[in-house]
Structure 1
Amino acid sequence: MLKAETDYALCPKFEKAFSILGKKWNGLIIDVLLEDGKQRFVDLANKIPQVSDRVLVERLKELEREDIVCKESNLYCLTPRGVALENSMMSVKRWAENWVSESECS
């Protein structure tokens, strides 16, 4: 007798969260804003030098549309929705410290 397929269904909210946070550079942008507070574009670009200016602009706009980042007087900052990610980001950092080897970082 064959094993029945499970009725697992991906939660739409979980899927949406990972589509935002799993996009390359978004986590680093959020982390910089959590760690250092409000930032000018040039400061964000300097702190994440691997990302091109064009992609950084795109990611910031996406995070603004998701109400995670806002722009006030040429400074980018986290909204309350973005600040609420702090515990999750810390959990990911702890996981990475325990499970990601240095050789995987290059």
Structure 2
Amino acid sequence: MYQKKREEIEPCPLKYAFNLFGKKWNAWIYCSLVNNPSLRYTELKDILPDITDSALSAALKMFMKNDIIRRTSYDEIPPRVEYSLTDKGRSAVPFLQGLCNWSSSYNSDNPEYQMTHCSYCKFNKKL
């Protein structure tokens, strides 16, 4: 008899976290929003110049669907939309700072990873 794969049977909290923050651009988008109270789409593109429009749009939609960021539209001409972290999004900061600290301490012997923060977000700074 056919048996479903393990991941379909048992939901995993760690897998949920990695799906949110572990994809190529998601950590950098998140860190950009941690360090700025709100950002417009074009400001995110300026911070992450190599990201494609489709990748940024997909990541923002995924974060909004999971209540990590909020999209605020202003009734102006031209229209203005800003993205910011929700309370749920801000609650992940200590977890991700801890992950950064862990990574830095265990990669200290590897010259490729010797850093106290990444060049995009300076996430290890005290928030």
Task: Sort the TM-score into its range (normalised by shorter chain).
Answer: 0.7 to 0.9
- Cα displacement string for residues 44-75 of structure 1 (whole angstroms, at most 9, x for unaligned residues): 11111221122101110011111101100200
* Partner SS for 1:70: strand
In the alignment, residue 53 of structure 2 is paired with which amino acid? D
Alignment of 1:60-79 (within 5 A): 60-73=60-73, 74-79=81-86
1:85 is matched with 92
- TM-score, length basis structure 2: 0.66
Q: Structure 1, unaligned stretches of length 5 or more?
A: 1-9
Alignment of 1:8-87 (within 5 A): 12-73=12-73, 74-87=81-94
- Whether the 8 Å CA contact 1:31–1:89 is kept in 2: the answer is no
In the alignment, residue 61 of structure 2 is paired with which amino acid? K
How many correspondences in the alignment?
97
35-44 vs 85-94, which deviates more? 85-94
Q: CA deviation at 1:27?
A: 1.0
Percent identity of equivalent pairs: 25
In the alignment, residue 92 of structure 1 is paired with which amino acid? L
Q: Structure 2, unaligned stretches of length 5 or more?
A: 1-9, 74-80, 115-127
In the alignment, residue 83 of structure 1 is paired with which amino acid? R
- Cα displacement string for residues 78-101 of structure 1 (whole angstroms, at most 9, x for unaligned residues): 111100011122123323433265
* Partner SS for 1:20: helix
Between structures 1 and 2, the one with greater helix share:
1
For 1:97 and 1:81, how far apart are their aligned partners in 2?
Answer: 25
